[in-house]
Structure 1
């Protein structure tokens, strides 16, 4: 099987500003578990500091009805363009994929912003599933974070 990087993408319309939303995923990631505990049980830092490239964070969350753990490195942060890339280092995703990245680009709009999520992955085997349900989970968590930000601002 030839290795091939594949992508799934989704846009989530947000009421929060691009900067507010990016800040949560960049510098206040550990708060996401408080916002939607039924989806994300916790986000912990293992190395480095919140909001810095090269930091290693661990996500505990529920995906397709099972408790999952994924360890990621913050591969890149572009605060000017509200973009952040998380690369999976360890966890259940690497059972099906040779590599896996979550890329979040928050684009300012006249009202609110758009969270543009890209899942980049390389399958270990051709018959392994595409991570559609994971993309849905990421979009759902984004909506919860957005609702939380708007409630806080009110």
Structure 2
């Protein structure tokens, strides 16, 4: 088996909503996202902890490439001052292809709106596994756009 190293895909997205509004939805009121974007996110359920607290375990039930998928995540880090939240995938379809997978989101205020900086850190199961660009373009970015339209 070939050695696979930690890799990342990242993007910046300019949005109209404030950094505070985005951070609030993704960190503290995550359960609203299925109402905002039901065609992509079917439900978000908390299993342990409380919304907006480190160590909480949350399941994201989503549609990707026409299939129902689940990503059970632990909220690894919350930084209120820098409006940053980290999610580590601990169960689900992503781990069929990746040894590890994390989402890091930071929301930075700008003169008009804010910038969402998203990093997906992952380690592939093997070298045949593609980088998760499709996940970014067809799931994550459309959901961010819908949240922006909702919060703005």
The answer on 1:121 being equivalent to 2:113 is no
2:51 maps to which residue?
Answer: 50
SS in 2 for 1:125: coil
**C-alpha distance in 1 between matches for 2:61 and 2:4:** 29
**C-alpha distance in 2 between matches for 1:131 and 1:145:** 21
What RMSD over aligned residues (CA atoms) do the two structures have, in Å? Answer: 0.7
TM-score after normalising by structure 2: 0.97
Question: Following superposition, which runs of at least 4 residues in structure 1 exceed 3 angstroms of deviation?
Answer: none
1:45 CA drift (Å): 0.2
User: Which is further off, 81-90 or 133-142?
Assistant: 133-142
1:56 CA drift (Å): 0.2
SS in 2 for 1:41: strand
Q: How many residues align?
A: 150
Unpaired stretches in structure 1, ≥5 consecutive residues: none
SS in 2 for 1:80: coil
Contact 2:4/2:126 (8 A) holds in 1: no
SS in 1 for 2:50: coil
Matches within 5 A, 1:5-154: 5-136=6-137, 137-150=139-152
User: Which is further off, 25-34 or 133-142?
Assistant: 133-142
Contact 1:44/1:59 (8 A) holds in 2: yes
